[in-house]
Structure 1
Amino acid sequence: MLSRWVLDGVVAGEITCAFRRWASPHARSGTRMRTQVGVVVVTEVTEVQPQDITEDQAAAAGYRSRSGLLSSLDKYGSGSVWRVGLRHVGEDPREVLRQRPELDAEERADLDRRLARMDASSRHGPWTRHLLRLIRDRPGVRAAELAESQNRPVARFKSDVWKLKELGLTESLRVGYRLSPRGEAYLAHCGSGAS
């Protein structure tokens, strides 16, 4: 929803809103978005009339002029115009978690339980530690290639990697994945078994 230049402006406090054309709102007040620059919260979603947008509001959205903002809106369809308030609220907690290589006994036990639940609910059997080892051994390999090596549909494979990423164990690269420092520490704790 937000381009990198907008996100950088939100972090700097220079951009406090965005305008979008939508048939119905695609965000709600209070929505927290995890982005490339951390967590951004939606502070408001208000339908507005294009003619009521002011120069100051255009500047708050990162545009040099109201006409520049309106021109950009016209590129994206004919839905209603919505003003979306934005505020940066801090780092992505997953990013902070990923970079922590220390795992105490309680954290390891919690990860053991969570991964065991994922394995138990899987239709294709235990997979979590195997996937962590695969990513460790083949960092930066395309998801399609990794999925094919496991005889898995790419979308389901990516979904499984996402579950590990949510726990702070993996990181996405431009191409493929790698283990995070936390993932490396956890896998070292698991030893070299095949489960």
Structure 2
Amino acid sequence: MLLRRPTLDGIAAGAITCAFRRWDRPRVRPGTRLRTAVGVLAVSAVEPVEPADLTEADARAAGHPDLADLRAMLDRREGRVWRVDLHLDGPDPRIALRSAEVDATARAELDARLARLDRTRPWTAGTLALIADNPGVRAPDLAARLGRETAAFKRDVRKLKELGLTESLEVGYRLSPRGRAYLRR
């Protein structure tokens, strides 16, 4: 479920408590946790609603200035209208992980995780080195340097991000403090 930055900021501030989407079926379920730029969001409810039953209060709860704006957004898509109730559930755990120490135990765990990722095709060391040497460079440009498709390259970088080794920038990536410490071994 994609949410724009102003919506995320509104959720973090408590001003936005729901989102409306047109889907053929729900794309999230109650209990889903979404990692976002403002932290982890928790989905507390997902319910179908009739567009005719939407109110001005619904529009404001979803961060729209008025009901007409909410309806215009929904009219751009096909499918059933779903109300998704959500709230900020805490900070993104990857942020703390990015600055975590790389002691001998952490290094051994990272070595094992990276070895598993490299099992079918070695890529982690080359990707980490490329990001280290090219912070802030667009993903398509980095992928091209490795002769890879952009989507597959981005998926792999997300795996490194899960380990706290990289972080996303407005454009491109950089190594996190943990990633730099790991490479200095």
TM-score, normalised to structure 2's length? 0.89
Runs of 4+ in structure 1 over 4 Å off: none
Deviation at 1:135, TM superposition (A): 1.4
What amino acid sits opposite 1:155 in the alignment? A
Deviation at 1:170, TM superposition (A): 0.9
Deviation at 1:101, TM superposition (A): 4.9
**Closer, same or farther: CA 130–69 of 1 in aligned 2, 3 Å:** closer
Are 1:102 and 2:101 matched, yes or no? yes
Name the CA distance, whole Å, in 2 between partners of 1:62 and 1:155. 31
Name the CA distance, whole Å, in 1 between partners of 2:124 and 2:44. 37
1:156 corresponds to which of 152, 157, 161: 152
Are 1:187 and 2:148 matched, yes or no? no
Structure with higher Rg: it is 1
2:120 corresponds to which of 95, 119, 122: 122
Count of matched residue positions in the alignment of Structure 1 and Structure 2: 184
1:100-149, Cα deviation, whole Å (9 max, x unpaired)? 15222221111111111122x223xx332232122112222233332333
Deviation at 1:81, TM superposition (A): 1.2
CA contact (8 A) 1:23 1:80 kept: yes
Which sits farther off after the overlay, 34-43 or 147-156? Answer: 147-156
Name the CA distance, whole Å, in 2 between partners of 1:61 and 1:144. 33
1:178 corresponds to which of 166, 174, 182: 174
Are 1:21 and 2:19 matched, yes or no? no
Corresponding residue for 1:193?
A: none
1:64-114, Cα deviation, whole Å (9 max, x unpaired)? 33333223322x22321111101111111112211x152222211111111
Corresponding residue for 2:127?
A: 131
What amino acid sits opposite 1:169 in the alignment? L
RMSD (CA atoms):
1.8
Name the CA distance, whole Å, in 1 between partners of 2:33 and 2:151. 25
**Closer, same or farther: CA 145–7 of 1 in aligned 2, 3 Å:** closer
The residue matched to 2:77 in structure 1 has which SS?
coil
Name the CA distance, whole Å, in 2 between partners of 1:135 and 1:94. 18
Are 1:2 and 2:7 matched, yes or no? no
What amino acid sits opposite 1:57 in the alignment? D
**Gaps spanning 5+ residues in structure 1: where?**
190-195
**Gaps spanning 5+ residues in structure 2: where?**
none
Name the CA distance, whole Å, in 2 between partners of 1:104 and 1:170. 18
Are 1:41 and 2:39 matched, yes or no? no
Corresponding residue for 2:91?
A: 91
**Closer, same or farther: CA 87–161 of 1 in aligned 2, 3 Å:** same
Name the CA distance, whole Å, in 2 between partners of 1:42 and 1:96. 23
What amino acid sits opposite 1:44 in the alignment? A
CA contact (8 A) 1:101 1:185 kept: no
CA contact (8 A) 1:49 1:81 kept: yes
CA contact (8 A) 1:31 1:42 kept: yes
